[in-house]
Structures are given as C-alpha cells and as structure tokens.
Chain A
Amino acid sequence: MEETTILVYRRENGSLGIRNHVLLLPLDAVSYSICRGVSHLVNGTKTFYHPYGRMQFGKDLELHFRTLIGTGRNPNAAAVIVVGIEPEWTKVVTDGIAETGKPTAGFSSVGNGDLKTIEAAARKAVEFVRWATGLRRIEAELSQLCIGLKCGESDTTSGLAANPAVGLVTEHLVAGGAAVMFGETPELTGAEQVLVHAFQGPELQKEFLRVYQSYFDFIRSQGVDLLGSQPNQGNIAGGISTIEEKALGNIQKIGRAPISGILDTAQAPGGAGLYFMNTSSAAADLLTAMAAAGAALQLFTTGRGNNVGNPICPVLKICANRETCRNSSENLDVDISGVIGGELTLPQAARQIETAMRQTCSGRYTAAEILFHEEFAPSRLFPQS
C-alpha cells in the first residue's frame, strides 16, 4: 500500500524539516575558506560559497542578513555554525538563527587567523554533528510542510502538463493547510491581470498590482525591455514565443488555489496558505530566497532541463518533455511526459508528484542532491559602498 505519511524532523520552534544538516554558514566570501576547512575535517557538515557580505548597507544589507538568517533558520538545518570576519555582524546573524532554539554558534576570524578559527569551529561542529545525528524522524503529513514552487528552462510542455499537474498538487497542499510560496515577478508579465483575481480581497489585489507595476516601471526606467531575456533562448527553442505566453504557462503552477499573502524576497510566510514572493525569476536566486523563507522542499518544473539545486532544501524536478526525460534522466525526479500523449491524466501525474514528494521528504535524495547541485545565490538590490 502506498505511504500517505512522511518522516520528518521536528525543530525546537515546531517547524518541520526533511533534512538534518549541520550547516557551516559563511557570512561573507572570505569566511567560506574557514567553513570549507571545517567541512573537510568534520563528517556530516554542509557548507557553500557565496560572493557577498562585505560593505553592504541599507535595504541591501537587510536582505543579505534576512537571506543568511533565514537559511540558518530553515527547518532542514539541525544546527548552525556562523563564520564571519568581525564579531558584530557575526553576532547579528547568529542571534537571528538562535532565536529558533536550534543549537547555533558564531565564530569571527579577526584576531584569530584561519587556523585557530577552524579549530574552534570544528570542535563545535563535532559536538553539533554528534547531537544532530542522534535525532529521530517523526511521522507527519505533506500538508504540514512549507513548500516552494518554481519553473525553469520552460517550454510549451511546462504550460500544457508539468505546471498544471503541480497546480493540482498546490491545490491539495493549500487546502490541507500547507504554506506554499511562488515568485518570479518578471515572469508574471502578461498574466498579471489573470493572476490578480487569485489574490484574496481588494487590498491584496491592489498591493499585488502595485508590486508588479513597480517592477515593470523599473524595467522601463532602465530604458530597456525584456526582449532577449524573457523569454530566453532556451524558452524560444522550446516553442515559447512571448513573455505573455511564458507567464500564462508559469501561473498554472498555483492551480486554482487562492493567494493569501505577499512576501518580500526571502521573507517567511506568517502561516498556512499560498503566498506570492516578490523576486527575480532566476532559478538559483529564487530557490535561495524560498529556502531562506523556510521551504523544506521545492517543486521545480522544467521543459528543456534546468539542473539547478539548493544546498539545504531538496529541489524536486518534474518534466513533461519526453525528449528531456530521455536525454537528461539523471537530472530529473518525476517523468510525467505521458500527459502530453494522453497516456497519463493530470490527476495521475499529480499523484506521481505527491508520491515522489513523500519519498523525498522521508529521506530519498533528489537528482539535484545526488549530483551536488548546491547553488546558493543571495539576491542583491544595489552595489556595496
């Protein structure tokens, strides 16, 4: 009989995770060397590189902190070690994560050099791994999770099958009480007047149109359009001709679920429901932002194959293009190409996706995890001082 429950980690603040990372979180580009050093010494730790974290200020710094703190707070991280250069910013990020109640420690390298910092952080990592690997999974339901939605390297099969199938999954999840997020403000262009009706209430509808319009005005203020960028060359090779067509295919991912809130980039949803996050549509950036907002799992549909992943949040790849399923099978998790030929119905495809979600939640690696796709791309608002 098919399993209907999943096995997850319950964190100190009640959030549910599906992985159990001891995370070595570099505050800035330079501190990655120390994190890497610790990760080579201590089995069971996870780290990643990113190029930012110095001389940022104002709203851009707020976003960087929110992204790093959110990443540490993500329920897939059991415990976190923050490494920075100066103690002040290190403490800001460490304290933001420690609020969840999870074991957290911060180390700053100034005055210590790399090697002494590596030793101190590694001793703490040993302690955290010993503790984290002793944790046990408990039974839960898919609809108790926080989940992100994204599509990438879309083609016309995305709008015909993969996104509508995910739309049915979204409807189930939202009806069951999950927190679900989607974003990609630029890729709503041409579908904004359709999508607006999914927002609950006139205030939220007005706010969405304001957020969308301010993005559209920004493009115009640059004296450019998005031709050549949206749709991109891969989309065009896959049969998508205009941004409107891409956007109308994109929004199939939310099905007919009502939207109950709008989030800033990397902002955590306040509760259950479907949320729109104002973000870029670049895959690594959005996956990073939704993981920082607390996504335990993300669903990613692709037409021609985008192999992106995330260091702490499994990304489940769903594809309805038979050729891509054949030529890139190692990068894909759920083949629903039968929908196009009529051998598989959309509800059957949705059930296949939900089965794969349960397996992933309970521990099975996604294609992106197996192939080390651990892209971490924090969004930026403007250049450093």
Chain B
Amino acid sequence: MEYCVLRHCPEDTVGVAIRPIAAGLEASVRDLSTQACFSLPVREDIPAFFKVALTDLPAHTRVVEYGQAIGQTTQDVAAGACVHVHNLKTLKW
C-alpha cells in the first residue's frame, strides 16, 4: 500500500504528510524506524509536509515527534487533524 504519512518512531503522536491529503481520506502511515504501516482517517485537509495527529491530543498535551516532546497542544486536537502553529506551542517560552 502506498503511504502518504511518515512517522519517525513508534512513540510519536504526530506524523508528516508527504503529499497533500484531502479531508475524509484514509491515509496510510509508515513508520521510518520499524517500517510498520497502519491506516488513519484524515479529518481535515493536510498540506504537504505538515503534521497530522496520529491520536487524540487533548489541550495541554505534550506532542511527540522524533520520540521527543516538540511542544504542547493549545486546544483539543482530534486524531486525523492538522497539527501546526494554530494548535501547537513550544514548551520553551
């Protein structure tokens, strides 16, 4: 199955779309470290190279990419939604 989302490692709660994905599509996610694949219903349009939530992320949840925290959500984010500066903020300031 041709994948359209890459995940760095199994601990990650977001993946990166490698091409634009339209809302309503069933995206195939491939893990770069294990090569495992699974599918994810995408609930809004994801531009190429933007991140998509792989699981529900309630407000103030630490978001994990590269197996590390990259910030926290500023609002509830559902699995399959786009994760970017509108709902994710640095933990540093």
**Which residues of A are found within 8 Å of B32, using beta-carbon distances?**
160
In the complex, the answer to whether A239 meets B69 with C-beta atoms within 8 Å is no
In the complex, the answer to whether A190 meets B70 with C-beta atoms within 8 Å is yes
State the interface size on chain B (CB cutoff 8 A). 27
Q: A155-B49, A340-B6, A342-B3 are in contact. Are A244 and B90 (CB under 8 A)?
A: yes
CA of A160 to CA of B65 in the docked complex: distance in angstroms?
Answer: 11
In the complex, the answer to whether B89 meets A239 with C-beta atoms within 8 Å is no
- The contact of B66 among A159, A227, A238, A241, by CB within 8 Å, is A159
CA of A191 to CA of B71 in the docked complex: distance in angstroms?
Answer: 12
In the complex, the answer to whether B71 meets A239 with C-beta atoms within 8 Å is no
Q: A239-B50, A241-B85, A341-B18 are in contact. Are A190 and B8 (CB under 8 A)?
A: no
A189 contacts B by Cβ under 8 Å: yes
**Which residues of B are found within 8 Å of A269, using beta-carbon distances?**
none
B75 contacts A by Cβ under 8 Å: no
In the complex, the answer to whether B93 meets A225 with C-beta atoms within 8 Å is yes
**Which residues of B are found within 8 Å of A321, using beta-carbon distances?**
49
- When each residue 137-160 of chain A gets 1 if its CB lies under 8 Å from chain B and 0 otherwise, what string results? 000000000000000000111011
- When each residue 56-93 of chain B gets 1 if its CB lies under 8 Å from chain A and 0 otherwise, what string results? 00000000011011110000000000011100111111
**Which residues of B are found within 8 Å of A342, using beta-carbon distances?**
3, 30
Nearest B residue to A304, CB-CB:
B49
Q: A241-B70, A244-B68, A248-B65 are in contact. Are A227 and B49 (CB under 8 A)?
A: no
A236 contacts B by Cβ under 8 Å: yes
In the complex, the answer to whether A190 meets B83 with C-beta atoms within 8 Å is no
CA of A340 to CA of B8 in the docked complex: distance in angstroms?
Answer: 12
In the complex, the answer to whether A225 meets B92 with C-beta atoms within 8 Å is yes
State which residues 225-254 of A face B: CB under 8 Å.
225-227, 236, 238-239, 241-245, 248-249
- The contact of B92 among A189, A238, A340, by CB within 8 Å, is A189
A55 contacts B by Cβ under 8 Å: no
- When each residue 155-197 of chain A gets 1 if its CB lies under 8 Å from chain B and 0 otherwise, what string results? 1110110000000000000000000000000000111001000
State which residues 188-215 of A face B: CB under 8 Å.
189-191, 194
In the complex, the answer to whether B93 meets A245 with C-beta atoms within 8 Å is no
B47 contacts A by Cβ under 8 Å: yes
Nearest A residue to B49, CB-CB:
A239
Q: A156-B49, A239-B84 are in contact. Are A244 and B18 (CB under 8 A)?
A: no
Smallest Cβ distance from B11 to chain A, in angstroms? 12
State which residues 311-347 of A face B: CB under 8 Å.
321, 323, 340-342
CA of A321 to CA of B47 in the docked complex: distance in angstroms?
Answer: 14
**Which residues of A are found within 8 Å of B54, using beta-carbon distances?**
none
- The contact of A242 among B16, B18, B47, B88, by CB within 8 Å, is B88
Q: A236-B85, A248-B68 are in contact. Are A156 and B51 (CB under 8 A)?
A: yes
CA of A323 to CA of B19 in the docked complex: distance in angstroms?
Answer: 11
State which residues 1-15 of B face A: CB under 8 Å.
3, 6, 8
Most buried by A among B48, B51, B84, B90: B90
**Which residues of A are found within 8 Å of B93, using beta-carbon distances?**
225-227
Smallest Cβ distance from B10 to chain A, in angstroms? 16
Nearest B residue to A340, CB-CB:
B18
State which residues 335-373 of A face B: CB under 8 Å.
340-342
Q: A239-B47, A243-B92 are in contact. Are A249 and B66 (CB under 8 A)?
A: yes
CA of A241 to CA of B6 in the docked complex: distance in angstroms?
Answer: 16
List 18 additional contacts besides A244-B90, A341-B18; criterion CB under 8 Å.
A156-B49, A157-B49, A160-B6, A160-B8, A189-B92, A190-B69, A190-B92, A225-B93, A227-B90, A236-B84, A238-B49, A239-B49, A241-B84, A241-B85, A243-B92, A244-B91, A244-B92, A321-B49
| 3 A-B pairs with least C-beta separation | A225-B93, A239-B49, A245-B70
Q: List 27 A-B contacts (CB under 8 A).
A: A159-B8, A159-B66, A160-B6, A190-B69, A190-B70, A190-B90, A190-B92, A191-B68, A225-B93, A236-B84, A239-B47, A239-B48, A241-B83, A241-B84, A241-B85, A241-B88, A242-B71, A242-B91, A243-B90, A245-B65, A248-B68, A248-B70, A303-B49, A340-B6, A340-B18, A341-B18, A342-B3
Q: Hey, which bits of chain B sit against chain A, CB under 8 A?
A: 3, 6, 8, 16, 18, 30, 32, 47-51, 65-66, 68-71, 83-85, 88-93
